[in-house]
Amino acid sequence: MSDVGPRRMLPELTDRTRFYWEGGRSGQLLILCCQRCGYYLHPPAPLCPVDHSTELAPERVSGRGRVASFTVDHHRWLPAPEPPYVIALVELAEQEALRLTTNIVGCPPEDVHIGMEVAVTFEHQADSEGRGDVWLPMFRPIGGAAGA
Ligand SMILES: [Zn+2]
């Protein structure tokens, strides 16, 4: 259990989102992808906005991206994470405007900047309410210290 992080507010798992929260079990960031045109959808939706196909399946993405915007939260709303912490929109390398709401970890909040290159990392949260373990996708700077 030593790899289990502090208790955070956990996502609701549904049939439509479960793959996203469980991909970290095997170290994979999975994003729903249209099997007809290759468009990535996030958050998951029942049909592709481009060609309205319902042939959608989770696909592994690189886990690389850039910080598109962020805010530093200094307030303690929840037992975890410890403030201050960074809430960010990360745009994935795979597709323009493919953005995830996430946390930036592995560097001081003051080092985070827009355009910073980041890679996915996962925080394992063990099941406590009978809905299954989750692996929260978070992002850390590529190459350790973020030199601007
Ligand atoms: Zn499509």
Which tens digits make up the pLDDT trace of 42-51? 999 999 999 9
For residue 109, say if its preceding peptide bond is cis, omega within 30 degrees of 0.
Answer: no
Spacing, Cα 109 to ligand 1 middle (Å):
37
Spacing, Cα 143 to ligand 1 middle (Å):
34
**Confidence (pTM):** 0.86
107, part of any domain: yes
Spacing, Cα 105 to ligand 1 middle (Å):
33
92, part of any domain: yes
123, part of any domain: yes
Residue 81, domain extent: 18-141
121, part of any domain: yes
Number of domains into which the chain is organized: 1
Which tens digits make up the pLDDT trace of 38-86? 999 999 999 999 999 999 999 999 999 999 999 998 877 666 677 889 9
